[in-house]
Structure 1
């Protein structure tokens, strides 16, 4: 896969499709570009070119010393799209990627036709902050794969556990085999612990969609709704599933996103 040497780090990326407009997808915590496997084919079939990027610290990108911030990773994404000469694109980030996308939209609004913030928040608040602090304590003692096993419990709904055990086992095996160092994990974890756009996000003029899983308990849906309420004119959509709705119910997730993007193409 191609790489870009930007901001002192080598980042892995992939461009799929040849559509006249581009969708740029930003990963969540400890997710590499393979995590978009249920989205990229649908978006390409809908006529879009898709750019995915391994954030610093994951996948085939380098993992320089941290901690990282949402603005730092937004600047990384900006450097990649600039190197590729991409402008006027649609940006979507999920979870941590939604935080990075908020910073991108605030810093570089002229690049965007639309921005979508999925399963994310403007600030973590006391509930999420306590959860993330536990992950930070667990990772050095028990390892990143153990923490990701815990994340699986929060990410999917009860019906997924009871009705789709084969798929669940695939996700659990993938989590257990995650090749991410503790240092890189903690560097990315800092992004979701320190992100806060509450006093700035209301200035956005880019067309925005805030998208959430109806049963998200990891980043509670109410936090996504609070983010939506801070952005004048933003659209709000929920889809079936929990925090991992892009994997658990990709059909409704993809359709909700494409309906929004088409309205701004």
Structure 2
């Protein structure tokens, strides 16, 4: 799988499928693999591009502060390097923050926008959680770290499935590309510094806001703020699922995404030829 050098780092990316380009940006603690469960449905209709943000997966992890604007610039540079002019764009959580910044700084590159479990600015509770997650790996091993984080990501229903959470923890421990401690700190600080509340009205592309009804990390009020701030944005609530609904309710999520994208296709008149 390829890498390109952009903004002084090696950025890992993956392309599958054919059709209009659809770019997926993962969030905190996640790399491109986080989208795996919905990939089969997406690549049936789109050329799907995934990447590892700086500091995650197989991309470079420079030992210097990161910012959301910087990571959006990485994405823009990636598109330039691989010769893709415009994309449908989806971002989950921190990836949604990066997607917002990309749509604001490079509107010519974004045909449509999908913000999943994301936010314009965190409140005190959210900020406290993210600050803790940024520091925690300095003090505990990855197994305990996952045990602390996952209750904020998944619902009680998900926890009730025998072996499901234990399997995710085991997967994280065995994953060959774990994040560096300092990368999580830099990502957490980037999230805390981010604020688009006063700029949302400048996003003019068709936008879908998608949130799980049981999301306790980025609750419904965050998505409502995005939907109220972005002109003509559509808000869809997934009834079953929390912050990790890409895993817990993947069928519902990909259905909502494809329904939104389908409505963007121009209606062709049948002239009999």
Q: Tell me the residue number matched to 2:259.
A: 259
Give the one of 173, 176, 181 matched to 2:173. Answer: 176
Q: Does structure 1 residue 111 correspond to structure 2 residue 109?
A: yes
Q: Tell me the residue number matched to 1:52.
A: 50
Describe the superposition over 1:208-253 as per-residue Cα deviations: whole angstroms up to 9, x where unpaired. 1111011000111211211211111101001120000011010000
The answer to whether the Cα contact below 8 Å between 2:14 and 2:50 also exists between their aligned partners in 1 is: yes
| Unaligned stretches of 5+ residues in structure 1 | none
Describe the superposition over 1:54-77 as per-residue Cα deviations: whole angstroms up to 9, x where unpaired. 001111111012321111111001
Q: Tell me the residue number matched to 1:10.
A: 10
Q: Tell me the residue number matched to 1:157.
A: 155
Describe the superposition over 1:95-120 as per-residue Cα deviations: whole angstroms up to 9, x where unpaired. 00000000000011111210011101
| Structure 1 residue 146, shift from structure 2 partner | 2.9
For 1:168 and 1:158, the matched residues in 2 are separated by: 11
Q: Tell me the residue number matched to 1:219.
A: 218
Q: Tell me the residue number matched to 1:194.
A: 193
Looking at CA atoms only, which structure, 1 or 2, has the larger radius of gyration? 2
For 1:84 and 1:199, the matched residues in 2 are separated by: 32
| Structure 1 residue 261, shift from structure 2 partner | 1.1
| Structure 1 residue 143, shift from structure 2 partner | 4.1
The answer to whether the Cα contact below 8 Å between 2:223 and 2:235 also exists between their aligned partners in 1 is: no
For 1:144 and 1:231, the matched residues in 2 are separated by: 37
Describe the superposition over 1:147-192 as per-residue Cα deviations: whole angstroms up to 9, x where unpaired. 3321111101101111x22332221212334521111111111221
For 1:192 and 1:29, the matched residues in 2 are separated by: 9
Q: Tell me the residue number matched to 1:88.
A: 86
Counterpart secondary structure, 1:86: coil
Counterpart secondary structure, 2:235: strand
The answer to whether the Cα contact below 8 Å between 1:214 and 1:242 also exists between their aligned partners in 2 is: yes
Moved more, 215-224 or 168-177: 168-177
Q: TM-score, normalising length from structure 2?
A: 0.92
Describe the superposition over 1:8-33 as per-residue Cα deviations: whole angstroms up to 9, x where unpaired. 000110000122x0110001111111
Counterpart secondary structure, 1:115: strand
| Unaligned stretches of 5+ residues in structure 2 | 266-273
Q: Tell me the residue number matched to 1:245.
A: 245
Alignment length, in residue pairs?
262
The answer to whether the Cα contact below 8 Å between 2:25 and 2:50 also exists between their aligned partners in 1 is: yes
Give the 3 Å change call, closer, same or farther, for CA 145–63 of structure 1 in structure 2: farther
For 2:38 and 2:190, the matched residues in 1 are separated by: 24
For 1:49 and 1:32, the matched residues in 2 are separated by: 18
Q: Does structure 1 residue 167 correspond to structure 2 residue 164?
A: yes
Q: Tell me the residue number matched to 2:229.
A: 230
The answer to whether the Cα contact below 8 Å between 1:145 and 1:177 also exists between their aligned partners in 2 is: no
